[in-house]
Amino acid sequence: MVMKKYHFLAALAFVALASCTNKVQTDSPEFQDPLEDGTPVPVLFSAASPKASVEVKSVGAVDKQWSAQELKIYGYDKTVTDFTQEAFIENVSATAPADGNKGGIQVLNAASQNEPFYYVTGKYYDFYGYHIDDAATAAPVKSETSVVVPFTIDGSQDLMIAKADQQADIEAAGKTDEVSAERAYSAFAARRGVQPNLLFKHQLARFTFEIVAGSEAGSNIYVTEVKLVSKFKGNLAVVGQNRGLVDVDAETAELSLKEKGAQGMQALTEVKPEAYVTGGPATAKTIGESLMVIPGEASYKLYVGTRQDGVNTQIAPQEWTLDINKIEGAPQGATSFDAGYSYKVKIVIYGLEEVKITAELEDWKEGGSTVLDPDLM
């Protein structure tokens, strides 16, 4: 199983149009900064994902570049200690770039005829973002310590969260001698080129699948379904100190591998491996999109359904266990399948009586590989 880890950088460059009329001094009270002349500062929002993005338009794994995914944005005054208070930016929708790994996004204030948001003079803000596909089951729920979004996943949704890092953005702008972390984000910081960048991080573990014929007989076997047993509902904490998956329900369900169709995600179409070549290297065929599941488990049950070519009767699905302890080359000390890691599962078909499964980490972060072979069990 090869595993890779994605971190999504959505750079939200807030060009704050300052509503101030008074000059704002630098940290030196004697110094009158010419930048602080009361002129409104344009607020710009941009989204960048230099390391990853999305494979499908609305539902699916964000993989290598943006594809018009919906993002949700929060902005809170840094002095707020109770998140039930009204936010500066309250769960406002923004659309990621249609393609590429970087581009502008608009976060508009519906209460002001869809004008940009403006920084309030003398206020400093924290900014948060999240991406939840179509998994949200209710509106965000606010408490004193957090804002959470209830969700239910079916294996096709990607859940991500982000918070802008003031110090990192100050350093990126080369303004460590002018702007302290306490003064970001604000009109003061924006005038000096310090803008919030949201680094989106995956909250689920991902499995991708491919099939290969291990014998001539295996070339005549269709794979009809792939299912993985996982927890599937809980809350996604998007604002507060302890962000991420919380209150995950212990109930499990079989999550089915799907594929992308003209109308979105659909049931997997049965598929055969490429023809077996005696003495030659096996040719693997990717099937479906991916399965994204609640992380933190040491093992998952996997079911693979098959059917012989020319026979309509489906064979009872074979059960396998994906075990983190059998991942060759996994990160040292790994005890579970972790969020942000992608595992490639190879299903090797020899015939009706034998299926071998290998798994390796792929393009999120290198991990290792494993083989589930009935002859070795």
* pLDDT reported for residue 113: 82
- Is residue 324 located within the same domain as residue 179? no
> What pLDDT, on a 0 to 100 scale, did the predictor assign at position 180?
96
Residues 22 and 170 in one domain: yes
Domain encompassing residue 30: 7-202
Let me know whether 221 and 344 are in one domain.
yes
Q: How many domains does the chain have?
A: 2
Q: How confident is the model at residue 81 (pLDDT cuts 50, 70, 90)?
A: very high
Range with lowest mean pLDDT among 2-11, 48-57, 287-296: 48-57
Per-residue pLDDT reduced to its tens digit, 308-328: 887 777 778 899 999 998 876
Are residues 85 and 179 part of one domain? yes
321-357 exposure pattern, b = at least 16 Cβ within 10 A, e = fewer: ebbbebbeebbeebeebbbbbbbbbbbbbbbbebbbb
- Provide the pLDDT for residue 121: 81
Which range among 95-109, 110-124, 244-258 shows the weakest confidence by mean pLDDT?
A: 95-109
Q: What is the pLDDT of residue 62?
A: 66
55 vs 72 pLDDT, higher one: 72
Domain boundary among 171, 202, 233: 202
The pLDDT value recorded for residue 120 is 84
Say yes or no: 223 and 364 in one domain: yes
**What is the arithmetic mean of pLDDT over 345-363?**
74
Residues 173 and 220 in one domain: no
Domain presence at residue 1: no
**Residue, of 168 and 50, whose pLDDT is higher:** 168
Alpha helices in 40-149 (DSSP H): none
Around 73, how many Cα atoms within 13 Å sit in the side-chain half-sphere? 31
> Ramachandran region of residue 91, left (φ > 0), alpha (ψ -120 to 50) or beta?
left
CATH number at residue 268: 2.60.40.2630
Question: Which pLDDT value is given to residue 35?
Answer: 57
Asked whether the predicted pLDDT for residue 50 surpasses 50, the reply is no
In a domain, 2, yes or no: no
Cα–Cα distance, 107 to 124 (Å, whole number): 18
In a domain, residue 279? The reply is: yes
Residues 139 and 284 in one domain: no
81 and 150, same domain (yes or no):
yes
Q: Give 144-153 pLDDT, tens digit per residue.
A: 999 999 999 9
Task: Please indicate, yes or no, whether residues 43 and 174 belong to a single structural domain of this protein.
Answer: yes
Residue 16 has pLDDT above 50, yes or no: no
The average pLDDT across 291-317 equals 90
